[in-house]
Amino acid sequence: MQYNTQLAYNAPGARLNMTIPLTEDPDHQQLQRDGHWCVYSPPLIALPNQGFPDKPFFTALAFDNAPLAWPAPTDWQRFRLGIQFERLWQCALVHLKGYELLASNLQVQGPASTLGEFDLIVRHDHALEHWELAVKFYLGTGDTTQETAWFGPNPTDRLDLKLQRLRSHQMALTRTPAGQSLLKTQFGTSNAEVKGVVKGRLFHPFTAWLDAHWRYPETITADHLRGWWLTDEDFIKRFKDSPQRFRPLTKRDWLSALQPSPIDQQLTATECMAALSSSREQYAHHIAMLDDNGVETSRGFVVMAPWLAITQAQDRGL
């Protein structure tokens, strides 16, 4: 059996409507797709009354007519997705109509130590804004209506903990005396509206994903990007004798959809697991599901025993 559930962007079965001018350079094409994904993909968290913009905010953003030179990672060997996400947003803000990027990664110094940093300081409509950026990927276990049930590929990363840090620390820097003093000194005002820009995906248990039985916390947007996850054993059981093809994803592939994969990158489940077993990743492996033409139809994670053990221990409060 082949699964042909479309890669969800705005809603299950719908693709993100974006027009991207392409060049002949495949790496540059990916940077363009990734940059537009950062801006126009639906937010993962949307709590407007708490500073998290909702979807209309992002869909209203418009680029000027200048060509965008999306930045490539400075070091492919030590690629960090969060840093690349920030750099793509920095580039976007330079070319978004009505926005001016004033500073990035601006450190806030306390009396004895660094309190944190402002990811972005932006001017919009003559007002100052502080933007905190994050791109996150979480897999749901147990009661997935709870924030505590969503774990990252690194299982020490958890949705509720990330939200708590965003709200109580990162987005609260503008309320600290040191933060207000820095804003006043650098930009002439201590008043700054705070925005928490969080993009990413939730990966639902495979059966729930297949049945479109979405259960997630109230803090998650209804049209969040979705994927699935399986244990390594269940992945092989389900797909060992299937014609379904897959492609392992490196960190640089985690944002926008893949271009059609060449035949030598379209792997059976057994071939995919063999490729994953040689990876240095310990807990969870990100893969794409492909159709007969090598086009990505969905994304998922194959998780290993250590990931399950750690998440189950946290569920039990150990």
pLDDT tens for 251-262 read: 999 999 999 999
Beta-bridge partners for 230: 302
Confidence at 288, pLDDT banded by 50, 70, 90: very high
pLDDT tens digits, one per residue of 111-165: 889 999 999 999 999 999 999 999 999 999 999 999 999 999 999 999 999 999 9
Q: Is the dihedral of CA 202, 205, 207, 213 positive or negative?
A: negative
First CA to last CA distance, the chain: 40
pLDDT tens digits, one per residue of 50-74: 999 999 999 999 999 888 889 988 7
**121 within 8 A of 133, measured Cβ to Cβ:** no
Q: How far apart are CA 152 and CA 172, in angstroms?
A: 24
- In this structure, which amino acid lies at residue 315? D
Cα–Cα distance list, 238 to 100, 176, 266, 276 (Å)? 50, 53, 17, 17
- In this structure, which amino acid lies at residue 109? Q
Q: How far apart are CA 37 and CA 56, in angstroms?
A: 15
Weakest-pLDDT range from 16-30, 91-105, 179-193, 258-272: 16-30
Cα–Cα distance list, 227 to 13, 190, 286, 288, 314 (Å)? 12, 41, 10, 9, 23
What's the predicted TM-score (pTM) here?
0.89
Would you list the domain boundaries of the chain? 26-315
